[in-house]
Structure 1
Amino acid sequence: MQGITIWHNARCSASRRALELIRDAGFEPQIVDYLRDPPDREMLNGVLAAAGLSPRALLRDKEPAYAQLGLDDPAIDDAALVEAMLRNPALINRPVVITERGTLLCRPPERVLEILPV
């Protein structure tokens, strides 16, 4: 893999801060507006695996759809959570940053510094 990719939401302060940190380090990432261009199942599952995250760990519980879909129920399995994120990409927490050094959910945004190229 070459470069840096950020799943970005310009309205999110954490996402804006992670992008700023990447640029301050001298890199221009590929910016994916995941709300307009959401990942497919293969990409989402790949990011979950690469980041070592469960679907619940990547789920954004502050979105209205979280409550509307009853996603706080611990009995909901991983496949159903992935399906919910695919149908409602706003449920994907951000920013996700992908580099040659790893994939992270950068919350707090300063976590991005852990995976920037040296």
Structure 2
Amino acid sequence: MSDCVIYHNPACGTSRNTLALLREKGIEPRVVEYLKVGWTEAQLKTLAARAGVPLRAFLRLRGTRAEALGLTGEGVSEATLAAAMAQEPILVERPIVEGPRGVALCRPAERVLDLI
């Protein structure tokens, strides 16, 4: 199935588990290692909109500079978040999966089952 994309960090256990679950279901997704290829602001905003969540839902806090960059406050705009996340891809929580039934942050990995 070529209409499935996983935005993947191979160092993340949940991301690896999600990829393994897709493959177990007979799906070979397009794997995008976002730490290598990066993000665009438009791409991040589109993925969040398709997932039906604010961009803030994709912000990774643990192990990042999100707090130091002032991104955790309630008044931070989506434009500010998108710019920071595009500049520092590690700020994006993982894995995000695009499947035939939509887009979701797949934490836990089993959330991917709703997308295929």
TM-score by length of 2: 0.94
CA contact (8 A) 2:39 2:85 kept: no
CA contact (8 A) 2:66 2:72 kept: yes
Please tell me the root mean square deviation across aligned C-alpha atoms, in Å: 1.4
Tell me how far apart the structure 2 counterparts of residues 38 and 105 of structure 1 sit (CA, whole Å): 17
Alpha-carbon offset, residue 39 of structure 1: 2.1
Alpha-carbon offset, residue 86 of structure 1: 0.7
| Alignment of 1:7 onto 2:7 | yes
| Alignment of 1:111 onto 2:103 | no
Amino acid of the structure 2 residue aligned with 1:15: S
Q: Which of structure 1's runs of 4+ aligned residues deviate more than 4 A?
A: none
Map 1:7-86 onto structure 2 (within 5 A): 7-86=7-86
Tell me how far apart the structure 1 counterparts of residues 70 and 46 of structure 2 sit (CA, whole Å): 25
CA contact (8 A) 1:65 1:88 kept: no
**What percentage of residue pairs aligned between the two structures are identical?**
39
Q: Deviations over 1:27-74 (max 9, x none)?
A: 111000001111212211110110011111110011331122022222
Tell me how far apart the structure 1 counterparts of residues 103 and 50 of structure 2 sit (CA, whole Å): 6
The SS at the match of 2:65 is: helix
Please list every run of 5 or more consecutive structure 1 residues that lacks an aligned counterpart in the other structure.
none
